A and B are shown apart, each in its own frame.
Chain A
Amino acid sequence: MASSIRASDTSVGRELGPSRLDGLGGPHPRSDAKGVSAARSSSLWRDGVRRLRRNRLAVAGGVVVVLLCLIAIFADFLAPLPYTKTNFSRLNEAPTRAYPLGTDQLGRDLLSRMIYGARVSMLVGLGAQVIVVIIGVPIGALSGYVGGRTDLVLTRFVDVMYAFPRLLFVILVMSMLGAGLTNIFIAIGLTGWVGIARQTRAQVLAIKEKEFVDGARALGAGFGRVLGRHVMPNALTPIIVAVTFGIPEAIFTEAALSFIGVGINPPTPSWGQMVGEGQQYIRSYWHLCVFPSIAIAVTMLSFVFFGDGVRDALDPKLK
């Protein structure tokens, strides 16, 4: 059993931020920074995959995620109707045979819009995470590896950004940029990199101490090589996990933005936008809001179960 743990170490445990995803997987023995064993990469991955396969919930989640990605990619072939095709004589209809999920305010087929919506929502999720990783990982890695003054400054900067109320700041940034798909990536990305930065820093700090890094250094490997070849692959795991959890989080945020009115503009369908705009019609035309809500919920849960599974699988501490 570890001896006294310094309180400052535990602050790392809140890395993933006050998101609704905390706890969906449960606490993790690795929620403190230390304790990454020095397993060699190749067997880590192999073990990981094996463990992952045994976790049925994670597999189910993973299957759904893959399915969603396929739907997103092949939307053009899957959607029965173009998502802009209006039908003014069949507005706001509940599900019928012709329109299995009903129609929206302009008589567009909800099913088709949901299918294309998968694409947009996935894009939002991934796009935002790309920005999150691009900003967060370098900052965290730099901070952890270089240490000293740089670390101090960067950590303080990260703390300041962490103190911002997330949704409020996203709205602020969206007001500044204006509505639109890329602006949403930027806004969500700019406000969400903090968790990953902290995680990366913690990982890098932990790994930095390990013998194999010293060993590599002793053999003459340069700074870049050490970072790239030895440190990063081990640090990768929490990043993957954070990204997996971040995608549904981004979709949720996009729904909130659309509800307020600063989200994606029509006619581009996104689940978040459909939920946000359909909310006022819940009592009259329930299908406008309910189906996209279900889609978001299913997506979120799949990503979470899958993410859990990945995290558990790649943790060498578990038997």
Chain B
Amino acid sequence: MFHYVLSRLLWLLPTLLAMALVTFLVMHATPGSPLDPVSEGANPLSPEAQKNLAKYYGLDRPLYEQFAIFVSKAVRGDFGYSFVYKTRTVQEIIAETFPISLLLGSMALVLAIVGGLTLGILAAVYQNRTWDYVSVSLATVGVAVPNFVLAVFLIILFSFVVPLFPTGGWDSPRNWVLPTVALALAPMGIIARFTRASMLEVIRADYTLTARAKGLGEGPVIFKHALKNAFIPVVTLLGPMFAAVGTGSFFVEAIFRVPGMGRFFVLSMTGRDYPMIMAVVLTYGAFLAVMNLVVDLLYGVFDPRIRY
């Protein structure tokens, strides 16, 4: 197992390097440069001012040199100053915002798992009866509607119609509720349906029959035997799901004013903030790889047939 983990982690490095290269190339192929002035009324910068700025950002060097410099600095954790937030370094900004996105994402994932499992089990156990339809409907809403639409509906429902929560911000746990729900609905729906189908299969399986034949009550049958087996396929979902949710969603963070990393996805793109774009992509990539590894290991925990 140790070898497995080690080899996976080692593969991370060339993967990240390749990701950096692809991103770097696409970024520089995009029209519009960070040298253009920010303000709309401004005339274009004089050629001299542009040259100075290019030199300051290191953009006047040939591409391969820029990339090499980037990599050599990045391995030491230095991604440089953000082009947009000129007095702050990219690593500083990410260090501040990533934990918030992570917190939001983790809460959303926990909610999604708990909610999804519950709904899925209920649906499976009471198949084709009321609970089944209720839970399937709930699951469907989360999955079928884009989350920037859901977010606004949640705000309307729970800030205006029933004034329970503020419309956004991140000061106290009260602020955490709506964004977490908005982010959790889609994964919850996925998990619920997955669990339902998985449980249905398992409930009919031989070993469940055996357990029942042995005289075990319904409770232990469901929770001890069925669930553990049903959970296995669900676990495969969790890695990429956490990676997607844990790094923050631009939409949810923008609408709820959450000061997380997700917002920088789009902002850095439109601002042509090269250092930021690279850092965000690599952070995400690394996080995804780690989560996949964790999930694969978890898979081994749940499924005794798997050996590393």
Contact = CB atoms under 8 A, between A and B. Distances in A.
Do A and B contact each other directly (Cβ–Cβ < 8 Å)?
yes
Interface of A: 1-7, 10-11, 13-14, 17-18, 20-27, 31, 156-157, 159-161, 163-165, 167-169, 171-173, 175-176, 178, 252, 255-256, 259-260, 275-276, 279, 282-283, 289, 293, 296-298, 300-301
Contacts of A3: 305
B80 interface: no
Given A4-B306, A27-B198, A27-B233, A171 B266 contact: yes
B177 interface: no
Instruction: Name A's interface SS.
Output: helix
B211 to A, nearest CB: 17
B201 A27 contact: yes
Contact of B285 (A164, A172, A293): A164
A259 B280 CA distance: 21
Instruction: Name B's interface SS.
Output: helix
The CB with the most chain A CB atoms within 10 A, among B145, B243, B281, B284, is that of B145
A160 B140 CA distance: 32
The CB with the most chain B CB atoms within 10 A, among A6, A21, A164, is that of A164
Q: Report, nearest first, the 6 A-B pairs whose CB atoms are least far apart.
A: A26-B197, A23-B194, A18-B240, A27-B233, A297-B144, A176-B30
A20 B285 contact: no
Given A24-B190, A301-B144, A13 B236 contact: yes
Nearest to B146: A255
Contacts of A165: 243-244, 247, 265, 281, 284-285, 288
B70 interface: no
B260 interface: no
B189 A20 contact: yes
Contact of A282 (B152, B189, B239, B277): B152
A1 B307 CA distance: 15
A297 B145 contact: yes
B271 to A, nearest CB: 11
B143 interface: yes
Given A5-B306, A23-B197, A160 B19 contact: yes
Contact of A256 (B192, B193, B251, B285): B251
Given A160-B19, A293-B145, A31 B266 contact: no
A175 B269 contact: yes
Interface in B271-308: 277, 280-281, 284-285, 288-289, 292, 296, 299-300, 303, 305-308
Nearest to A251: B146
Contacts of B107: none
Given A163-B289, A296-B144, A18 B200 contact: no
A296 to B, nearest CB: 7
Contacts of B243: 18, 165
A17 B240 contact: yes
Given A7-B4, A23-B237, A163 B285 contact: yes
Contact of B146 (A23, A31, A252, A301): A252
Nearest to B124: A26
Contacts of A255: 146
A31 B201 CA distance: 14
Contact of A14 (B4, B194, B239): B239
A168 to B, nearest CB: 5
Nearest to B240: A18
B156 interface: yes
B23 interface: yes
A14 B240 contact: yes
Contacts of A13: 233, 236
B198 to A, nearest CB: 5
B73 to A, nearest CB: 21
Interface in B1-53: 4, 11, 14-16, 18-19, 22-23, 26-27, 29-32
A255 B147 CA distance: 11
Nearest to B277: A172
A279 B146 CA distance: 10
Interface in B194-238: 194-198, 200-201, 233-234, 236-237
Contacts of B241: 18, 22
A52 B268 CA distance: 47
Given A26-B194, A163-B289, 7 more contacts: A4-B306, A7-B300, A22-B194, A23-B192, A165-B281, A172-B30, A178-B31
A7 B299 contact: yes
B149 interface: yes
A25 B192 CA distance: 11
